[in-house]
Amino acid sequence: MSQNEKTATTEEIREVDISKISVNPYQPRRHFGKEEIEELADSIKSVGLIQPPVVRWCETRRYYELISGERRFRACHVAGLTKISVIVRDSDEFFSAEAALIENIQRVDLNSMEISRALQELKQFGLTQDDLAKRMGKKRSTIANYLRLLDLPIHVQQKLEQSEISMGHAKAILSIERKEDQESLCKLIISKGLSVRESENRANEETAPPPTQMIPPKVERDIHLDHVVEKFQQKLGTRVTAQGSSEKGKLCIDYYSLEDLERLMGIMGVEG
């Protein structure tokens, strides 16, 4: 590389060996579909690379690091290109990481987990949630919701990344405290095909406090009344219950047949 190339301070287009380009470690996108890369490679073979990837020169490592355009870079590899045009930007590691993450976060095809991990990477550079919201042009609550996804169990994160559950489902799962219960709800959502609203209802059932049991008021025993009832039972030879007190109330005398009733009437001197 010439001295002029090494001391460039503005963006410029150069043609470089593709073998001297390395991917950005802060690239948030983890999955590149084979079919989309092959389709882009066919397009590059046909009409060329219309929009060059953006890179920075790493002096200590003596290679170019991608800032953005990894999908195009991969497609150029598949197309068999040995040299490609790139836009070289004079920037340090922080700027490169920030630019790569923010530019890629704004891609519509990033899934929720890729966005949340990218935001977490940016926080490591000292950016607050307010800073991220301003740079992303989003509400702070949106940033907070994405970062909360990293609190999900790994298994649930994988299901979200694989689009087996949605961001709305994930928020419902996060409303449950215990990790075991979160995983159980995730499995139920997938197996039953629950909607977000149904998932929220299930989560509310898990977090609702147990119903308060009604404790009947303690009734003070009337010792005198108990004694009277016992005397009645001994005299009549059947079950007798009392409601009220020794001053006022009701007596209930059990009988079990017509003959039993007539027997009780005879004991009490009642004529039939």
CA distance 96 to 94: 5
Length of the chain: 272
- The single residue of 11, 36, 70, 180 carrying the catalytic annotation is 70
Distance between CA atoms of residues 180 and 81, nearest Å: 50
262 classed as catalytic: no
Cα separation, 113 vs 162, whole angstroms: 10
Distance, CA of 29 to CA of 109 (rounded, Å): 9
Q: Name, in order, each residue with C-beta under 8 angstroms of 264's C-beta and a sequence gap of 6 or more.
A: 236, 238, 253, 255
231: which 2 tokens? Answer: 């005397």
**Burial class (CB within 10 angstroms; exposed 0-12, middle 13-18, buried 19+) of 243:** exposed
Helices 112-123 and 154-161 sit at what angle, rounded to 10 degrees? 120
Quote the tokens at residue 137.
């042009």
DSSP state of 163: T
For residue 171, what are the CA distances in angstroms to 116, 161, 167, 200? 13, 14, 6, 8
What's the Cα-to-Cα distance from 3 to each of 6, 65, 135, 177, 227, rounded to whole Å? Answer: 5, 19, 35, 59, 114
* Residues carrying an active site annotation: 70
